[in-house]
Structure 1
């Protein structure tokens, strides 16, 4: 279903967001410290994510696997690892013969090591039985195959007859693995406890065997202890063994089985991996027991990624952290105030982690640069920008510029530089510009910088950076974790129309006309130059000046500042109007043609037969409609005008048509939805309540000369009032025993007046819209 929604999202216009798609999980999560840069391949399956853990290769292709190391040592380092790997992972039993060109096999045959050769052949014979085998009849004994039982007995016999300890252990491991797939847990326990349990020199075979021994253990704390030891020592078993660790078992009951500090550290390591919230106490214990523990660095990195989600995801996007879901029906829980309150609590936790990192000796760690980089990032997270920037600049001197880590440090540097400025004096520093260009495809990075600038009062540069967020080119794999989705401080609570993913919709909803005018002015005075960053920053909006000018006029319409709106619209070229709002030109702005001015807003009403003769024609676009509205307002306001009631009525029609219910909603909005939905746009009440239309229908009625025309005005007032009441009571009306339409009608004072004082007019005007023409003609 999710993929279907994403498919729809790509094909349809931005308004489709309101119809079904809503960002969640990894699509929202902010992270600037990429765990892949630090090469913890053995732990990669446990990188912090809003999703569940997913298996990833624990080794790189170039890495030598532990079993390959054992065989290389056995062959006295005379055989290439690649040949060992072929024998172990690709060959079949029939490939093992004296004529093989494989160097490992040639070495064994030349040494006449038939014990090793026989083992390899037997291991190959066992491979197809070392998995679950389905029985189409679903019988109870489907997992206990005679062939497997025979192999199990043979493996145990061979283990007992081996002359070399090496193969005694290997045959025992094969027997344990076969017993597991035969569900013979008693044999697993017996074999492991007699062969491996007291083993002094443990190797990968020990921990592979312990993996199956864990599955066979009935004592939950002991099983957890075994799982922790496997997790530490067998990277290729980590993903599966982690699923066996029972998090509800008290860690103290697990630790009682540990005999060494390393075994204790292993328990804390897996316990921390399985902890999805704060894990600082576990980190401290691992550090105390073994500062050089490889997994300790990964735990710190994972804790940083958690805190990025807890702090940056809500701070920048104003969504809850990615691992949580808003309760859409609880406005308090979903409120921006509540979300930001939590951010401060998580910043306080980040200070505790910073204090721990600051008091550790990074030189004792397996990855000192990671600890220093994490410390710098924690300084940013806790808003100590000066100290953080200083540390980042020190680290830059120690890392080659061609390494991925250097770019990570540069991203941190840009964040520190911009966030560390004073409110009211923020800009994009010269040092940050090449870093931004280098990472211009990182949408969340761009948005975070823009958000920092916006928070500090620089809405011009913020909008310019937002304009560079490209939601059509998220990354080379079209992964949505690089997307930028965000809300606004003005958010009223969670709805399906409460977020943004592009600059235009955002400044349309949030920026004031003055801010848009400043943005336009800034772009106008900055001509194209040879500066790469300058041209990139202004590149998008320099080509969208007409759209911005139209937006400015639209904002003035929302404020009912018609003169200012007209001045803005007049700066927009005629071709723009033809392309965007005309049915007779190719319309590139609305996939369904829904933004076309196809009805005259002064004379025609939706769902109402024509009843007013159109005496003048205008080219239907925002400029001409605004000019005509001003003209009719002047004529209606002229006390010497004999048709004031007529012009007030036309003005009221226009204002009505500029609402959700009219044919010219495009004067106030850039998309229309039949379901409505709250937005933060400043004229929200007018758009749904038709207050200006009501004002001018009242003026038309006051200036009317005939009873029937007054009744027509009263009928239109009733229509406006109905819309106002439906908007007002859309959430508050709870009485399910009463008909909603009757409830709304009962509160409509205009319909009540029309019905009680003029029942014949009420019946005519509410029963059939064809009467509108008759009542309008009776104006004189």
Structure 2
């Protein structure tokens, strides 16, 4: 039953649109501020994020290097720390033990100064320790290695250590260096054996003293986790947090929240108090200026203070920029989703007012402490204040603080300065001026050069390009806006490998939604331009389509949407005839006769072997319009029905079938409103198809043609009624005169006999 199958299509379309594309909030979040101070690297997991922790694949190995230097101090300055690192952290137990047993350490590890030193008779006890420590890696969890968490691959035939000899080895060690190392191995072994009291005893005996070894904070971490008093556990973990880099993330994983007062009561000085407050703030996604003010009062030169300020700037960026510039439409973090979605526009307006008020509180505080800061912290504060002023549209004052960043500022802060200057230029300067564009190229290029070395800054460039795109679009330069948008999208996932994953629609997606015919002509001209300016070269790098036919197809499609058939034909005719056989998904969707209405065909009747050429199709439409007969108008009507979302040739009008729920809509924005305008409302509401069916019905002298036109007018009216998929309280659709005529005037026609079904008749009341 033909009509039943078409009704099913409608229902399935509604269902599919409810299960659309989704993406993690962290992906769409905007962030421009990423200035860093020396020492921030260990805090990487605690940058502001839509998730509990900031995702990172890099971790500090500073503790390992400290350990290697301790070994160098013990064994001799002529031993290279990189050689020590190779043995301690890159060599598995089997290799080392087998080489020792075969007396082949020198051969297996040639030119390794650490191995050479260990083989000296005076260092026999150190070599014995290394062999024992390597074997100890298998006395507990296989993932737990001896002096760190490094996981090195091993076979099943690994050597094992004699656990019973621990006490003897500790007592027989002749110096503090080896005593502490044997004690640490034993302490950690007892931790995984859940012998908490023994862990505490070993720490108190061998590490609770004045010592600079990196083993002390490592051991303190295990002791802290063996203490039942959670406030004391927090306090000890806070000491670990400040004294070594490797355990910072682990500290926050084990920290007991909501014990602030009890933990602060154990602190011995303001520096410790400021650290405890900072730790408690590192996962707080809400406004936290009060904590920052407390930390400043306790320790105004604290590195953690700067980091918390950066988190606060990133929060404000998320709350203010993400709704404005991303297609997510809301900040990455939403505190109460139910209330948020009850009345989004109201919630958005209220939150904006609150966020701006809070931004100004943060701004005023940072300005108040700026004059008292010095060195790197002052440069960092200048950048943070400038960024907040930019968010508040105080561009001139923001430029003033940007200029306060010293020429000696570190590379990261210099990068932030260039980003700020780019933002100022985008907001204030004439973006059509070539000097302005070339200055922007200088800013962007310097930022790109740094980001090549630090993939953690991808999000910042994604955000900057997204804003650049919007500003160029506001100034009427859709071509630059689209290419910047594409650069932004390439950075969105945080990896340059996206350059290798571009596909056909990547090159035209933005222009499909925003470009006019004149814009596409300018895009084609830019692609063909030989002597591009530095700005144009930069803008086009990695963003231009492989050839101009991508843009020609878009131009012809836009012309077709605008009912300019002559321009559409001229454009399509200038392209290779096999273009639609070899590119995108045209061959998969433009493969049926466009002059037979899809909705009346059974699936088994449909043939997918039609060779579709866009130029030939447009040429036939032009010819049919000239004929202006009942038969030609009926064919035109069928063709325009088929280029709607219901037809078999919808890809003549659009590059994706529906809107609002697809990946392309996530990237480029919901395209529904644009599609509503195609051919004066034909894509969803079938206006053009209805016009030609009405002309055919009026002009025809053939009852079979009239029956077909009447039936298809009913179909068009039905689908147009439900095309918006609005869950409203409208009355049910009522069939009009066309369907009544189909069942009365035309009931003896062959068309009626072919397409009559009980479901159709049920619409007549």
**Which interval holds the TM-score relative to the shorter structure?**
0.7 to 0.9
Picking from 282, 300, 305, the partner of 1:296 is 305
Task: Report if aligned partners of 1:427, 1:458 keep a CA contact under 8 Å in 2.
Answer: no
Task: Report if aligned partners of 2:50, 2:332 keep a CA contact under 8 Å in 1.
Answer: yes
Q: How many residues align?
A: 684
Structure 1 residues 189-228: aligned runs within 5 Å: 189-193=200-204, 196-197=207-208, 199-201=209-211, 203-228=213-238
**Paired position in structure 2 for 1:415:** 423
**Paired position in structure 2 for 1:44:** 44
Classify 1:244/1:332 alpha carbon distance in 2 versus 1 (closer, same or farther; 3 Å). closer
Structure 1 residues 353-392: aligned runs within 5 Å: 353-361=362-370, 363-364=373-374, 367-392=377-402
Deviation of residue 571 (structure 1)?
4.4
**Paired position in structure 1 for 2:407:** 397
**Paired position in structure 1 for 2:521:** 520
Picking from 448, 451, 454, the partner of 2:467 is 448
Distance of 1:117 and 1:521 partners within structure 2: 72
1:588 aligns with 2:583: yes
Higher alpha-carbon deviation: 377-386 or 698-707 = 698-707
Picking from 352, 357, 361, the partner of 1:352 is 361
Classify 1:291/1:353 alpha carbon distance in 2 versus 1 (closer, same or farther; 3 Å). same
Picking from 673, 677, 685, the partner of 1:683 is 677
**Paired position in structure 1 for 2:754:** 768
1:599 aligns with 2:586: no
Classify 1:68/1:218 alpha carbon distance in 2 versus 1 (closer, same or farther; 3 Å). same
Distance of 1:546 and 1:122 partners within structure 2: 69
Richer in helix (by share) = 2
Classify 1:276/1:203 alpha carbon distance in 2 versus 1 (closer, same or farther; 3 Å). farther
Picking from 187, 211, 214, the partner of 1:176 is 187
1:67 aligns with 2:63: no
Deviation of residue 267 (structure 1)?
1.2
Q: Aligned to 1:578, what secondary structure does the other structure show?
A: coil
**Paired position in structure 2 for 1:240:** 250
Task: Report if aligned partners of 1:417, 1:429 keep a CA contact under 8 Å in 2.
Answer: no
Distance of 2:640 and 2:337 partners within structure 1: 33
**Paired position in structure 2 for 1:723:** 719
Deviation of residue 211 (structure 1)?
0.8
Task: Report if aligned partners of 1:423, 1:456 keep a CA contact under 8 Å in 2.
Answer: yes
Classify 1:548/1:749 alpha carbon distance in 2 versus 1 (closer, same or farther; 3 Å). same
**Paired position in structure 2 for 1:529:** 531
Q: Larger relative contact order (C-alpha < 8 A, sep ≥ 6)?
A: 2
Classify 1:345/1:175 alpha carbon distance in 2 versus 1 (closer, same or farther; 3 Å). same
**Paired position in structure 1 for 2:577:** 578
Deviation of residue 749 (structure 1)?
2.6
1:159-216, Cα deviation, whole Å (9 max, x unpaired): 567675555544443332121121111222333345545x355653332222111221
Distance of 1:282 and 1:484 partners within structure 2: 45
1:433-474, Cα deviation, whole Å (9 max, x unpaired): 333456679555333211122245544542353466674998
**Paired position in structure 2 for 1:739:** none
Distance of 2:244 and 2:414 partners within structure 1: 31
Distance of 1:624 and 1:338 partners within structure 2: 52
Higher alpha-carbon deviation: 68-77 or 177-186 = 68-77
Deviation of residue 300 (structure 1)?
3.1
Classify 1:479/1:204 alpha carbon distance in 2 versus 1 (closer, same or farther; 3 Å). farther
1:317 aligns with 2:326: yes
Distance of 2:381 and 2:191 partners within structure 1: 41
Deviation of residue 418 (structure 1)?
0.4
Distance of 1:538 and 1:172 partners within structure 2: 61
Distance of 2:555 and 2:80 partners within structure 1: 71
1:284-328, Cα deviation, whole Å (9 max, x unpaired): 333322233333333333443444444333322131567458999
Picking from 656, 671, 687, the partner of 2:641 is 656
Deviation of residue 226 (structure 1)?
1.9
Deviation of residue 649 (structure 1)?
3.4
Deviation of residue 231 (structure 1)?
1.6
**Paired position in structure 1 for 2:136:** 126
Distance of 1:483 and 1:368 partners within structure 2: 42
Q: Aligned to 1:243, what secondary structure does the other structure show?
A: helix
Distance of 1:17 and 1:575 partners within structure 2: 37
Task: Report if aligned partners of 1:520, 1:545 keep a CA contact under 8 Å in 2.
Answer: no
Classify 1:453/1:327 alpha carbon distance in 2 versus 1 (closer, same or farther; 3 Å). farther
Distance of 1:672 and 1:692 partners within structure 2: 18
1:478-520, Cα deviation, whole Å (9 max, x unpaired): 269x9999xxxxxxxxxxxxxx984633332345x4xx43563
Show structure 1 runs of 5+ residues with no match.
1-15, 135-146, 486-499, 611-616, 636-642, 735-742, 772-780
Task: Report if aligned partners of 1:447, 1:484 keep a CA contact under 8 Å in 2.
Answer: no
Higher alpha-carbon deviation: 545-554 or 310-319 = 545-554
**Paired position in structure 2 for 1:701:** 697
1:587-638, Cα deviation, whole Å (9 max, x unpaired): 3243644236x5353x76664599xxxxxx9985464245235424xx4xxx
Q: Aligned to 1:128, what secondary structure does the other structure show?
A: coil
Q: Aligned to 2:645, what secondary structure does the other structure show?
A: coil
Give me the TM-score of the superposition, normalised by structure 1.
0.72
Distance of 1:179 and 1:251 partners within structure 2: 30
**Paired position in structure 2 for 1:627:** 622
Distance of 1:528 and 1:149 partners within structure 2: 70
**Paired position in structure 2 for 1:434:** 442
Classify 1:568/1:390 alpha carbon distance in 2 versus 1 (closer, same or farther; 3 Å). farther
**Paired position in structure 2 for 1:264:** 273
Distance of 1:576 and 1:707 partners within structure 2: 41
Task: Report if aligned partners of 1:444, 1:483 keep a CA contact under 8 Å in 2.
Answer: no
Distance of 1:238 and 1:365 partners within structure 2: 26
Q: Aligned to 1:395, what secondary structure does the other structure show?
A: coil
